[in-house]
């Protein structure tokens, strides 16, 4: 009881009102009230608040955009590239304003949106070149329009879906025994992990080599990777960017077989 009286002012920082609430609590519990208990009026003066110029009530229905899956417009099992057109499927995807966020790109306001489907070409992301190879997060954002005049406020965000963007490589120059130059789309970020893989084209105990690209100080779409100890032969070339692999065409009669290089 004494402890309760001693600490009551600390537990109820509302001054006299807090003390009064404590006294009423003691009475309700049937506890005796000390005779020397007194109320001390604080010196704080309430500050007047600014008048309300206009009252508005915004009723927002409960909605939560949900992404069920993201697929290519051309098919379910096809690899995804930086210039692919994707289809976002789910529910409650359309809001008063519907925005899309992918990786490090800007929020993009979408115009043609259905409640269960959004078709979006990745090449239209802004700023240009913002998309990177590897796993990228995709999210739907629906701001709330409030105020006078109506302006966007923080609203509702969907769950996050993952995209795997595959890099595309070309080999602009014949390689040497110590280096391979590659042109890559999309641009490789300075901090992204890049691994070169070489697979010998041979029917008899083919060799495989793996080389880590050196650190970079800036984003680039051209990269030179040092190699060493590679047996002179023809090789198929694959590039990994943050684990996302470039596509190989291993059909021997295909005009696009490879990409391949000859190491002297």
Residue 171, pLDDT above cutoff 80: yes
Predicted pLDDT of residue 128: 84
CA distance 35 to 228: 93
Q: Which of 140, 70, 135 is nearest to 107 (CA)?
A: 140
Residue-wise pLDDT for 216-263, tens only, equals 999 999 999 999 999 999 999 999 999 999 999 989 888 889 899 999
* Whole-number CA gyration radius for the chain: 32
Predicted pLDDT of residue 13: 47
Residue-wise pLDDT for 126-153, tens only, equals 888 889 999 999 999 998 877 777 777 7
Residue-wise pLDDT for 44-98, tens only, equals 777 788 887 777 776 667 778 999 999 999 877 789 999 999 999 999 999 889 9
Q: Which of 162, 158, 160 is nearest to 135 (CA)?
A: 162
Handedness of CA 187, 133, 193, 183 (dihedral sign): negative
Strand partners, 90: 67
CA distance 250 to 2: 86
Tokens of 257: 């077989």
Q: Which helix (H) or strand (E) holds 23?
A: helix 16-28
Strand partners, 121: 85
Predicted pLDDT of residue 22: 58
CA distance 46 to 215: 61
CATH of 66-165, one of 3.50.50, 2.60.40, 2.60.420, 3.30.410: 2.60.40
CA distance 137 to 242: 14
What confidence tier does 30 reach under pLDDT thresholds 50, 70, 90? low
Q: Which of 65, 139, 137 is nearest to 95 (CA)?
A: 65
Predicted pLDDT of residue 34: 59
Rounded to a whole number of angstroms, the distance between the first and last alpha carbons of the chain is 92
Q: Give exposure, 182-196, as e/b (b: 16+ Cβ within 10 Å).
A: bebbbbbbeebebbb
Edge to edge, the sheet with strand 66-72 lists: 66-72, 85-91, 117-121
- What are the extents of the domains in the chain? 1-44, 66-165, 168-263
Predicted pLDDT of residue 210: 97
Residue 25, pLDDT above cutoff 70: no
Burial class (CB in 10 A: 0-12, 13-18, 19+), 167: buried
Q: Do domains 66-165 and 168-263 have the same CATH topology?
A: yes
Tokens of 176: 């040497």
CATH top-level class for 168-263? mainly beta
pTM of the entire structure?
Answer: 0.72
Using DSSP's 3-state secondary structure scheme, residue 246 falls into coil
pLDDT, mean of residues 109-119: 92
Predicted pLDDT of residue 112: 85
């Amino acid at each position: 009881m004494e402890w309760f009286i001693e600490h009551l002012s600390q537990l109820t920082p509302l001054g006299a009102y807090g003390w009064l609430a404590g006294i009423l609590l003691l009475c309700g519990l049937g506890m005796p009230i000390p005779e020397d208990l007194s109320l001390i009026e604080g010196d704080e003066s309430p500050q007047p608040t600014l008048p309300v110029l206009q009252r508005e009530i915004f009723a927002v229905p409960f909605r939560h955009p949900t992404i069920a899956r993201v697929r290519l417009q051309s098919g379910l099992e096809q690899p995804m590239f930086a210039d692919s057109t994707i289809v976002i499927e789910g529910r409650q995807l359309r809001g008063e304003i519907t925005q899309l966020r992918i990786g490090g790109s800007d929020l993009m306001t979408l115009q043609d949106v259905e409640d269960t489907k959004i078709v979006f070409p990745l090449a239209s992301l802004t700023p240009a070149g913002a998309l990177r190879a590897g796993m990228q997060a995709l999210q739907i954002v629906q701001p709330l329009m409030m105020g006078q005049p109506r302006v966007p406020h923080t609203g509702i965000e969907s769950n996050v879906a993952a995209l795997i963007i595959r890099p595309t490589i070309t080999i602009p120059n014949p390689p040497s025994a110590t280096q391979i130059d590659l042109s890559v789309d999309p641009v490789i970020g300075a901090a992204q992990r890049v691994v070169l893989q070489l697979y010998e084209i041979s029917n008899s105990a083919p060799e495989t080599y793996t080389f880590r690209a050196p650190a970079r100080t800036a984003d680039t779409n051209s990269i030179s990777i040092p190699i060493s100890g590679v047996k002179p032969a023809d090789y198929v070339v694959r590039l990994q960017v943050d684990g996302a692999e470039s596509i190989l065409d291993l059909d021997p009669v295909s005009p696009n077989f490879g990409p391949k290089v000859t190491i002297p």
